[in-house]
Amino acid sequence: MLGAALEGVLLVTAAKTEPGLRERGLWPSGDPLRWDLHTLIGLGIAAGWFDADEFNTEELSLSDVVDAVRRLRNGLHPGVLVRGREATVDEDVCRATFLILEAVFVVSARAVREAPEVTNET
């Protein structure tokens, strides 16, 4: 659920800022509804929504955080229990997930607030 929340916030941010992203040549190819977390994080970094260095500490890197979100999502998926596997969700995974969620919500709010209004006038 947290991975979906992260993807959702980044996707809404991308949609709200689409004209500017396209202008800068940053709009990823393909159907936005098929973009994965990796694509959305890459878009956020390229767009300057957040700097990967914000997450790179001695203990943790942005790639660790993204991997933690993926592991959390996969570990809590009902299919894991159905297949008899044990979920590997520990405190570090949860901490990393909340770290990136907090940062993405701040970035998203700022990006949406600063995005020019789009009108559908023809």
pLDDT tens-digit series, residues 36-93:
888 888 888 888 877 666 666 676 666 676 776 776 666 655 565 566 666 566 676 6
- Rounded to whole angstroms, how far apart are CA atoms 103 and 16? 18
Tokens 């689409």 correspond to what residue?
18
In a domain, 121, yes or no: no
In a domain, 120, yes or no: no
Contacts of 25 (CB under 8 A, 6+ apart): none
Considering only CA atoms, give the Rg of the chain.
16
Domain hosting 28: range is: 2-114
pLDDT at 108: 79
In a domain, 119, yes or no: no
In a domain, 78, yes or no: yes
pLDDT at 89: 61
Contacts of 30 (CB under 8 A, 6+ apart): none
Q: Which helix (H) or strand (E) holds 54?
A: none
Contacts of 10 (CB under 8 A, 6+ apart): 37, 40, 41, 43, 44, 104, 108
Contact yes or no for 65/100 (Cβ under 8 A): yes
Q: How many domains does the chain have?
A: 1
Contacts of 92 (CB under 8 A, 6+ apart): 68
In a domain, 62, yes or no: yes
